[in-house]
Structure 1
Amino acid sequence: MRITSRYRAACVATALSAGLLLSGCSKDDDTVSTAAGDGDYTIGFVNGNNTEFHTCLQGAIEKKAEELGVELYTANSTQDPGKELSNIEDMISRGVDAVIVQTVNVDALEADIAKAKAANVPIFLTSVLLEDMKDVLGASVVPLAEVGKMDAELVTKDAGGKAVQVGVVAGAPGAASDVLVGGFTDNLPATAKVVANQPGMFSPAKAQEVAENMIQSHPDLDYVFVANEEMAFGALNAFKAAKADVRIVTNNGTERGVEAVKDGTFLGTVSNPAQLTGANALESTVKLLDKDKGAEKVTRTPLTLVTKDTAAQAPAYCAE
């Protein structure tokens, strides 16, 4: 394992488990690890949660770091904006060259970016873009508004011009979920009425609770858009228990989600592989630090609408 001189000055670390865990500097040591590297850069990754998306995203970043010889530190903010800022401060203290951030809330980014800018450490974003990107190194994003639009178009096609009631189980307010849901609701036809819109907080249990309340209040519900597949399975439990025939459209393209489309459990999902978002994030960060003239400031993960007819061609979601 290579430890930079800047990090050595900040903290003397004890290497454990073949150099995969560093201790003695973090306020919450068990949340921070490092992949061995022998390249020119040390990069931090601050994750936002522990959903399948977040896990796959981090796995892809770790794999690409190994390929490029980047020393990588990781931390998880567990949907807490205060912890996100603390994690970024910790990364700065470790002497990283840049921090990749999967934010828990776009409102939190102002403080994050200001803190990193003051330390001359650039921030690279995953999943979201800011209106003003001048203080951000770059971003690797899923075109979330387009994801929502694709699901809305699927509902439109399936409804065939009939008047329908639609529910929305959003993720957590204030970040990527808002863009995703907006893309969906803004592109529904006039014949589709959104009768409920509640956050499931990216928790299957919470999504099931939201869906239970939704079907009780709207027993004639026809469709529901769920912000990710993990929550969609939670919502499905509620609809099954109520013996309600509600057609689910969702987002991710995980193996389980694609299988649910194949067997008709879900009407459709939009595949946007987390492995590509993560790999692009790490690779782009390195290129931008290198001032590579061919580097793009923003890269976008390709989307695939997955229906029963196309499920067999769905791309892999997670890196092996």
Structure 2
Amino acid sequence: MKPTTRSRRTAAASLVGSAALVLSGCGTEDDGAGAAGGSVTLGFVNGANTHFHQCLLKAVEETGKAQKATVYSANSKQDAGTELSNIEDMIARNVDALIVQTVNVDALEGDIAKAKSAGIPIYLTSVATSDLSDVLGVAKVDLKKLGALDAGWIAKDAAGKDVKVGIVAGAPGAASDLMVGGFKDALPANAKVVANQPGMFNPAKAQDVAENMIQAQPDLDYAFVANEEMAFAVRKAFDAAGVKDVKIVSANGTEDGIAAVKSGQLSATVANSAMTIGQTAVKNTIGLLDKDKTVDKIADIPLVLVTKDNVSDAPQYCPE
């Protein structure tokens, strides 16, 4: 690493404040845990506490350990201000690179600028900015395609009949917006979206949304739910209201999600392996830091539409 870069980091670290420097390297994720010891230090800024984010953290930590890297982690809890603060804390730690699962695409501009001014490269997971010139790389999930895959299943299942569709989105501003946009764009003309409300990636909130939705639209045919944790709560609300024939499509491909597809609780889900994202992010970040290696800047994460017919094709979602 060039001396000029290291000096810029040191200067930036001094600006963040001493509070960030007292974070322990052996606590929980929220207090900046260090997962492993090594010559490369990585800061992982996670976006929330859903099952996806927990599995992503586990994959990052385990892969970091296997790669003999030190990983410090923090959780932004769906708040863009906390995300920036977490990035500042990682800058204070003088990490070699940052891996960020953002809470809001719009927040990335400030995040990237902060890291760039400190001379610390930033690697993105799941979503990418339109201009990637200032980032080290990205483990990219085509979230619009993810939504489109679920919409395609509805189109095939509806077989040209006029149907009503409800959407239980996640938290506005990042992954959910892209998924919902791709879903709506790919729906056929015979499928009408009659409700679209955010469940905030919170099962209790999603259940409330579903209860209100079915009261307003008792003849709903399908529901697209932005992740499986919310989808189970939505299924519970629909079943309690006596509308068990509403077909639910979702995303993630968790162990429970795949089991729900097998049982018919969910009609389809799009497998988007948190384990693969985390492994790819760590390996590629380390590879891109090494100027003697050739590593693709953009890594596309595979997506699999999982139905009863192909449950065996679903990739492993979470590290064991």
TM-score (norm 1): 0.91
Structure 2 counterparts to residues 64-103 of structure 1, below 5 A: 64-103=63-102
Q: Which residue in the other structure is 1:277 paired with?
A: 277
Q: Which residue in the other structure is 2:306 paired with?
A: 306
Q: Percent of pairs identical after alignment?
A: 59
User: What's the CA shift for 1:294?
Assistant: 2.2
TM-score (norm 2): 0.91
Question: How has the CA–CA distance of structure 1 residues 30 and 178 changed in structure 2, closer, same or farther, with 3 Å as cutoff?
Answer: closer
Per-residue CA distance 1:66-86 (angstroms, 9 max, x = gap) = 011111100000011111000
**Contact 1:127–1:139, Cα closer than 8 Å, also in 2:** yes
Q: Which residue in the other structure is 2:249 paired with?
A: 249
Q: Which residue in the other structure is 2:291 paired with?
A: 291
For 2:221 and 2:59, the matched residues in 1 are separated by 37
**Contact 2:30–2:75, Cα closer than 8 Å, also in 1:** no
User: What's the CA shift for 1:30?
Assistant: 5.0
User: What's the CA shift for 1:292?
Assistant: 4.6
> In the alignment, is residue 53 of structure 1 matched against residue 59 of structure 2?
no
User: What's the CA shift for 1:143?
Assistant: 1.3
Per-residue CA distance 1:216-249 (angstroms, 9 max, x = gap) = 1111100000000001011111101111121000
> In the alignment, is residue 21 of structure 1 matched against residue 27 of structure 2?
yes
User: What's the CA shift for 1:111?
Assistant: 1.1
User: What's the CA shift for 1:31?
Assistant: 2.2
Q: Which residue in the other structure is 1:180 paired with?
A: 179
For 1:236 and 1:263, the matched residues in 2 are separated by 13
Per-residue CA distance 1:268-296 (angstroms, 9 max, x = gap) = 00111100000000111111111255201
SS in 2 for 1:261: helix
For 2:51 and 2:290, the matched residues in 1 are separated by 31
Question: How has the CA–CA distance of structure 1 residues 174 and 255 changed in structure 2, closer, same or farther, with 3 Å as cutoff?
Answer: same
Per-residue CA distance 1:102-150 (angstroms, 9 max, x = gap) = 1111111111111111111111111101111111111112111111111
- Unaligned 5+ segments in structure 2 are 1-5
> In the alignment, is residue 260 of structure 1 matched against residue 260 of structure 2?
yes
Per-residue CA distance 1:242-268 (angstroms, 9 max, x = gap) = 111210000000010001100111110
- RMSD value, Cα: 2.1
> In the alignment, is residue 239 of structure 1 matched against residue 238 of structure 2?
yes
Question: How has the CA–CA distance of structure 1 residues 125 and 15 changed in structure 2, closer, same or farther, with 3 Å as cutoff?
Answer: closer
User: What's the CA shift for 1:20?
Assistant: 2.4
**Contact 1:166–1:195, Cα closer than 8 Å, also in 2:** yes
SS in 2 for 1:286: helix
* Structure 1 segments (4+ residues) deviating >6 Å: 4-7, 9-16
For 2:174 and 2:292, the matched residues in 1 are separated by 30
SS in 1 for 2:110: helix
SS in 1 for 2:186: coil
Per-residue CA distance 1:151-200 (angstroms, 9 max, x = gap) = 01100111111000001111111101111111111000000000011111
- The amino acid of 1:215's aligned partner reads I
**Contact 1:20–1:36, Cα closer than 8 Å, also in 2:** no
Q: Which residue in the other structure is 2:222 paired with?
A: 223
- Unaligned 5+ segments in structure 1 are 23-28
